[in-house]
A and B are shown apart, each in its own frame.
Chain A
Amino acid sequence: MEKIKEIKIDSCSCVTTTAVDIGGIVEAVVAEIGTEKNKAIPILQAVQNKLNYLPSEALKLICELTDITPVQISGITTFYSQFRHLPTGEHIVKVCTGTACHVKGATLILDAFKRELKISEGSSTSDDKLFSVEEVACLGCCTLAPVVQIDDKTYGHATTSKVGNIIKDFLNSEKEIVSKKVILPDGEYDTEIRVGLGSCCIAGGSRDIMNEVEKTVYKYGIEAHVKTVGCVGVCNQTPLLEIAYKNKEPIRYTNLTEERVSEIILHHIKPKKKKNKLRTALNNWADTFHTDDMLFSPVNLEDDTREKYLNNFLQYQKHIATEHYGLISPFSYDEYLKYDGFKAFNNVITLMNQSQLIDLVTESGLRGRGGGGFITGEKWKIGYLAEGDVKYIICNGDEGDPGAFMDRMLLESFPFRVIEGMMIAAYAIGAKEGIFYIRAEYPLAVDRVKKAIKICEEKQLLGDNIMGSGFSFRVKIFEGAGAFVCGEETAMIASIQGDRGNPVVRPPFPIENGLYGKPTLVNNVETLCMIPWIIRNGPEAFNSIGTANSKGTKVFALAGKIARGGLIEVPMGITIRKIVEKIGEGVAPGRKFKAVQIGGPSGGCIPESLADTPVDFEMLTQLGAMMGSGGLVVLDDSDCMVDMAKYFLSFTHNQSCGKCTFCRVGTGQMLRILNRFSKGEAEISEIDELEKLCISVKNGSLCGLGSTAPNPVLTSIKYFREEYEAHANGVCPTGSCPALITYRINDNCIGCTICVTACPVNAIEFKPYEKHHIDTELCVKCDSCVQVCTVDAIEKQKI
Chain B
Amino acid sequence: MIKLQINNKNIEVKEGTRLIEAARLNGINIPSLCYRNDLPHYTSCSVCLVKNKTTDKFIHSCSAQALEGMVIDASGKEVLELRREAISMLLSEHRAECEAPCKLVCPLGLNIPLMNRHIQKGDIKAAAELAMAEMGMPETFCKICPAYCENACRRKMIDHTISIVNIKRYSSESHNLKEPLSGNLKKSTGKKVAIIGGGFSGITASFFLSQEGHHCVIFEKTDHAGGAIINTLEEETKYIFEHELKNVLALGVEMKYGIEVNNDILSRSLTKEYDSVVISVPGFDNLKNATISENHIQFKGDSMVLNDVHVFKIGKAAKQNKQIIRDIGQAKKASMAINNFLKSSRLISVVKQFNSVIGKIEDHEKKVWLKETPEETNRFKTPISLEESIEEAKNCLHCDCRALNNCMLRNISGDYNVINPKVSMYSHPIEKKINFTSGLIFENAKCIKCGLCVRLLNKETINAGLGFQGRGFKSIISEPLTHDFNDILNNKTDILVEVCPTGALSKHEDF
Residues of A participating in the B interface, judged by any CB pair closer than 8 Å: 1-4, 6, 8-9, 56, 59-60, 63, 69-75, 77-81, 85, 483, 500, 504-505, 507, 653-662, 664-669, 672, 696, 699-700, 702
Q: Is B423 an interface residue (CB 8 A)?
A: yes
Contact of A78 among B457, B464, B471, B486 (CB under 8 A): B471
Indicate whether B484 reaches chain A with its CB closer than 8 angstroms: yes
Could you tell me if A71 and B464 are in contact, using CB atoms closer than 8 angstroms?
yes
Are B475 and A658 in contact, with the CB atoms below 8 A?
A: yes
Q: Are B471 and A79 in contact (CB under 8 A)?
A: yes
| Residues of B with C-beta under 8 A to A654 | 472
30 A-B pairs within 8 Å (CB atoms) are namely A1-B434, A3-B486, A4-B434, A6-B433, A56-B481, A69-B480, A70-B483, A71-B464, A72-B467, A74-B482, A78-B470, A78-B481, A79-B469, A79-B475, A505-B41, A505-B43, A654-B472, A660-B45, A661-B44, A661-B46, A662-B85, A665-B92, A667-B473, A668-B425, A669-B89, A669-B425, A672-B425, A696-B85, A699-B82, A700-B82
Find chain A residues with CB under 8 A from B326 CB. none
- Give Cα A672–Cα B421 distance, bound, in whole angstroms: 14
B481 touches A664 (CB 8 A): no
* Chain B residues in 8 Å Cβ range of A69: 463-464, 480
| B43→A70 contact, CB < 8 A | no
Q: Are B467 and A507 in contact (CB under 8 A)?
A: no
- A59, A71, A658: the one contacting B474 at CB < 8 Å is A658
Starting from the known contacts A6-B485, A657-B472, A696-B85, 18 additional A-B residue pairs (CB-CB under 8 Å) come to A8-B481, A70-B480, A71-B454, A74-B467, A74-B482, A79-B469, A79-B475, A85-B481, A504-B43, A658-B449, A659-B43, A659-B451, A661-B90, A664-B472, A669-B423, A699-B49, A700-B86, A702-B46
A127 to chain B, nearest CB (A): 25
Q: Does B65 sit within 8 A of A, measured CB to CB? A: yes
Closest to B79 in A: A699
A500 to B469, CA, bound (A): 9
The 8 Å CB contact of B43, one of A79, A500, A702, is A702
Chain A residues contacting B59 (CB-CB under 8 Å) are: 505
Q: Is residue B372 contacting chain A, with contact meaning CB distance below 8 A?
A: yes
Closest chain-A Cβ to B120's Cβ sits at a distance in Å of 12
* B503 at interface by CB-CB < 8 Å: no
Q: Which residues of B contact A1 (CB under 8 A)?
A: 372, 434, 436
* A71 and B89 contact, CB distance less than 8 A: no
**A72, A78, A653, A666, most chain B CB atoms within 10 A:** A78
Distance of A596 Cα from B225 Cα, bound (Å): 82
Asked if B58 CB lies within 8 Å of chain A CBs, one says: yes
- Whether B93 pairs with A658 at a CB distance below 8 angstroms is no
Q: In the complex the two chains form, is A659's CB within 8 Å of B481's CB?
A: no
Chain A, Cβ-Cβ closest to B448: A661
CA distance A79 to B472 in the complex (A): 8
Bound-state CA distance A668–B485 (Å) is: 29
Cβ contacts under 8 Å, B47 to chain A? 661
Establish whether residues A660 and B482, one from each chain, have CB atoms under 8 Å apart when the complex forms.
no
Interface size, chain B (Cβ < 8 Å): 56
Q: State whether A661 touches B473 (Cβ < 8 A).
A: no
Minimal beta-carbon separation of A132 from chain B (angstroms): 20
A547 to chain B, nearest CB (A): 24
Closest to B46 in A: A661
B442 → chain A, closest Cβ, in Å? Answer: 11
With A and B bound together, what is the CA distance between A460 and B200 in angstroms?
97
Contacts of B316 in A (CB 8 A): none
Scoring B375, B457, B464, B469 by chain A CB atoms within 10 A of each residue's CB, the highest score goes to B469
Chain B residues near A72 (CB, 8 Å)?
A: 467
Residues of B within 8 A of A74 (CB): 467, 469, 478, 480-482
**Is B465 part of the binding interface, using a Cβ–Cβ cutoff of 8 Å?**
yes
The minimal Cβ–Cβ distance linking A130 to chain B, given in whole angstroms, is: 27
**In the complex, what distance in Å separates the CA atom of A70 from the CA atom of B482?**
7
Q: Bound state CA distance, A79 and B466, in angstroms?
A: 15
Q: Is there an interface contact between B473 and A71, defined as CB atoms closer than 8 Å? A: no
User: Are A656 and B473 in contact (CB-based, < 8 A)?
Assistant: yes
Interface centre among A9, A79, A655 (most CB of B within 10 A): A79
User: Is B42 in the interface zone, CB < 8 Å from A?
Assistant: yes
Whose C-beta in chain A lies nearest to the C-beta of B454? A71
| Docked-complex contact A71 and B480, CB < 8 angstroms | yes
Determine whether B156 belongs to the interface, using a CB cutoff of 8 Å to chain A: no
**Which one of B44, B46, B433, B436 has the highest number of Cβ atoms from chain A below 10 Å of its Cβ?**
B46
Return chain A residues, CB-CB under 8 Å to B57: 699
- Say if the beta carbon of B506 comes within 8 Å of chain A: no
Q: How many Å lie between the Cα of A505 and that of B46 in the bound state?
A: 12
In the assembled complex, the Cα of A72 lies from the Cα of B54 at a distance in Å of 39
Hey, which chain B residues are within 8 Å of A80, CB to CB?
471
Is B446 interfacial (CB 8 A cutoff)? Answer: no
Residues 56-95 of B, flagged 1 when their CB comes within 8 A of A and 0 if not, give 0111100111010000000000000010011001101100
Tell whether B14 is near chain A: CB-to-CB under 8 Å.
no
**Residue with the greatest number of chain B CB neighbours at <10 A, chosen from A69, A658, A667, A669:** A658
Chain A hits for B471, CB < 8 A: 78-81, 483, 500, 655-658
Least CB separation from A500: chain B residue: B468
Q: Would you call B272 an interface residue if the criterion is a C-beta within 8 Å of the partner chain's C-beta atoms? A: no
CB distance from B507 to the nearest CB of A (A): 14
CA distance A271 to B463 in the complex (A): 72
* B465 partner residues in chain A, CB cutoff 8 A: 71
CA A464 – CA B45 in complex, angstroms?
47
Minimum CB distance partner of B465 in chain A: A71
Check: B186 CB closer than 8 A to any chain A CB.
no
Distance between Cα atoms of A68 and B90 in the complex (Å): 32
| Closest chain B CB from A29 CB (angstroms) | 17
Interface flag for B371 (CB, 8 Å): yes
**Contacting pair B43 A699 (CB below 8 A):** no
Across-interface contacts of B484 in A (CB, < 8 A): 6, 8
In the bound complex, CA of A662 to CA of B63 (Å): 16
Which residues of B lie under 8 Å from residue A6 when comparing CB positions? Answer: 433, 484-485
Q: Of the candidates B44, B425, B433, B467, which one forms a contact with A659 in the assembled complex, judged by CB atoms under 8 Å apart?
A: B44
CB distance from B448 to the nearest CB of A (A): 8
| A668 engages B469 (CB within 8 Å) | no
Q: How far is the CB of A501 from chain B (nearest CB, A)?
A: 8
Other-chain contact of B371, A4, A85, A656 (Cβ < 8 Å): A4
The 3 closest A-B pairs by CB, nearest first: A70-B480, A71-B467, A658-B475
Q: Are A59 and B472 in contact (CB under 8 A)?
A: no
Are A661 and B482 also in contact (CB < 8 A) when A75-B468, A669-B92 are? Answer: no
CA distance A636 to B371 in the complex (A): 56
What residues of A have a CB within 8 angstroms of the CB of B372 in the complex? 1
Mark interface residues in B207-229 (1 if CB within 8 Å of A CB, else 0).
00000000000000000000000
Interchain CA distance A658-B433 in the complex, whole Å: 22
Are B93 and A665 touching (Cβ within 8 A)?
yes
- Decide yes or no: A662 and B472 within 8 Å by CB, A2-B375, A71-B480, A669-B425 being known contacts: no
The answer to whether B482 touches A60, judged by C-beta atoms less than 8 angstroms apart, is: yes
List the A side residues contacting B42 at CB < 8 Å.
Answer: 659
CA distance A77 to B89 in the complex (A): 27
Cβ contact within 8 Å between A3 and B436: yes
- Bound: A668/B427 CA distance, A: 10
Q: Given A74-B469, A665-B92, are A660 and B481 neighbors across the interface (CB < 8 Å)? A: no
The reply to whether A658 and B473 contact each other, CB–CB distance below 8 Å, is yes
Interchain CB contact (< 8 A) of B473 among A56, A78, A665: A665
A70 to B489 alpha-carbon distance, docked (Å): 13
